Amino acid sequence: MTARVGVVTFPGSLDDGDAARAVRISGAEPVRLWHGDPSLHGVDAVVLPGGFSYGDYLRCGAIARFAPVMETIVDAAQGGLPVLGICNGFQILCEAHLLPGALTRNQHLHFRNRDQILRIESVGTAWTNAFQPGQEVLIPVKNGEGCYVADTATLDQLEAEGRVVARYIGGNPNGSQRDIAAITNAAGNVVGIMPHPEHAVEALTGPSLDGLGFFTSVLKHLVGAPA
């Protein structure tokens, strides 16, 4: 049976279509989910896409965190549902307290849009098991509020528990502490990443095909998950 991966659309979402295409290219069936509908329609995993949900008012992701669909996603994620938050989706996951820390204004106060090398640090998550430890990948980054911050105790805990999923290599585009580009929760089913793997799944439009591994990883995870 083909896995069904939901992609949420919020008011102001920008990359939901690209995320759905990446899901399809990976071999899964994309299912469009609406912010105002609490039902997940039986999906096996969820992607929170990039964009500017609710115009980024208050704080990025602060309003989207209270969308009806997010109430269901939070409960499902706590029960083991794989959830990937990309850029604005990462911000939403932090606002929803599914991931620790916060994403703040880039330290240099400029929007950054460039192809970025990342080093995969953790392959034990639902979204990174297709990679090798230490593998370097090339994925676009585009953000104005992508600077990951947390208190020292939280950063030390993420490091000690192997929950830093990816780091920036060859220059930090936003000033994120400890060059953190992606993190996971303790269970490994929830991952937030600031760069955009959905923009690196086709030779025609991406700088590489390296982003595809995030989407094929969840399919591998689902095959091995208990029924």
Residues serving a catalytic function are 87, 196, 198
Query: Does residue 183 contact residue 163 with C-beta atoms inside 8 Å?
Result: yes
b/e per residue 132-145 (b: at least 16 CB within 10 A): eeebebbbbbbbbb
Tokens representing residue 136 in the block? 């370097």
Helix (H, G, I), strand (E, B) or coil at 83: strand
Residue 142: closest CA among 195, 76, 89: 195
The H or E element spanning position 68 is helix 68-78
**How far is Cα 80 from Cα 21, in angstroms, rounded to an integer?**
24
Helix (H, G, I), strand (E, B) or coil at 144: coil
